Amino acid sequence: MTETAEHDRLIHAGRKALPRHSRQRIPATIYPLVVGLAIAVIGHVLLGWVERDGERLNIIGAGVFAIAGLILFELRERSQTARLLSLLERARGDDWLISHLERMVDNYADITASGDALFLARAREHIVNVAGEISDTAEGHIDVQPIQESVFTIRLVDECAHTLEAISIQDEEWWSSPLGHEYLERHKAVLKQGVAIRRIFVMTNDHEARARLTQAMTAQLQIGIDVRAISEEKLRPEQRRDLVIYDRRYVRWGSTGEPRSARLSRNPDDIAEASNIFEDAWLRSRSDLSDWNVGSI
């Protein structure tokens, strides 16, 4: 989409999003009276021939519709108030949340009051995006960008108390990087605390990649990690996924290719799926690593 088209789209969306009071300055309480007056006029035109009875009907119609409109307006206001009170009740005691909600509402109100359609549309897009991310997080998922991944993975290893299970695929360069070395150092620490670590290395037909992986596998065997290997073609497509399961509480699904990213989940269904994939791959993999010259380097 071109910049001009994006600009026009935001302007259109913003104009639609602008509250009625920012486009028309008629107080909301006037609308029911206007509706009642309109009904009275219509009644006068259509029923004027019924003389006095028609006039009474006009007056009654105007009054009824005005009162009905005011009641509906009041009910709408009370409904909004009830929703706000419910929201505040759920946020009770969380000063951090309340302060950020207050800041967001104040800023949104300022943008709305300005009447600027472009900025209002952008503000609404930001709110929708944030709401979507929080909803995803509440469901147990976090999308982790490459720049953040090392922070998440190292923290999860540090907090590991029982088991760490992983399928490592296309990671040969990462294991030889400074982050890979730091990650392995954290493995050493949790191994001393009694954490059991099992890792499956997926071997490709790339001889250079295999050579780098054998160094990583040997280093991990030497510190006490239970290492196995399997040829990529022996895995089913759904098993060819880079993953790490921490204490069967979290699973990190990694992407292959560039740019690398990851998805962290605490959703029980995701953890069960990852555990099944790992256990099946573990049975298919080999503990005898002599074919890959592991342990002889």
- pTM of the predicted model, to two decimals? 0.66
The CA angle 264-169-234, to the nearest 5 degrees, is 120
- For β-strands 242-246 and 226-231, DSSP reports them as unpaired
Yes or no: say if 250 and 163 are a contact pair by the CB < 8 Å rule.
no
Q: What is the largest CA-CA distance in the chain?
A: 111
Compute the distance between CA of residue 245 and CA of residue 224 in angstroms, rounded to an integer.
18
User: What's the confidence (pLDDT) of residue 96?
Assistant: 86
Residue 56 corresponds to which amino acid? R
The 3 state secondary structure assigned to 144-172 is ECHHHHHHHHHHHHHCCCCEEEEEECCCH
Hey, what are 136's tokens? Answer: 């995803």
Strand order in the sheet with 226-231: 141-144, 262-265, 250-254, 242-246, 163-168, 196-203, 226-231
The full length of the chain comes to 297
Task: Please tell me the predicted confidence (pLDDT) of residue 42.
Answer: 59
CATH class of 143-292: alpha beta
Residue 127 tokens read as 């709110």
Amino acid, single-letter form, for residue 243: L
DSSP category for residue 87:
H
Q: Where are the domains of the chain?
A: 19-114, 143-292
Beta bridge partners of 243: 167, 253
DSSP secondary structure, 13-41, as one string: HHHHHS-HHHH--S-TTHHHHHHHHHHHH
Please report, in tens digits, the pLDDT of each residue of the chain (297 residues total). Answer: 555 565 455 445 555 554 544 444 445 555 555 666 666 665 555 555 444 444 555 555 556 566 666 665 555 656 666 776 677 677 777 888 888 888 888 898 999 999 888 999 999 999 899 888 888 888 888 887 777 777 788 899 999 999 999 998 877 777 888 888 888 999 999 999 999 999 999 887 777 777 778 888 888 999 999 999 888 888 888 778 889 999 999 999 886 555 566 889 999 999 999 999 999 999 988 776 666 556 543
Strands (E), the chain: 141-144, 163-168, 196-203, 226-231, 242-246, 250-254, 262-265
What pLDDT is recorded for position 193? 95
188 and 160 Cβ atoms separated by less than 8 Å = no
- Burial of 282: CB neighbours in 10 Å, binned 0-12, 13-18, 19+: middle
| Under 8 Å between Cβ of 36 and 62 | yes
β-bridge pairing 196-203 and 141-144: unpaired
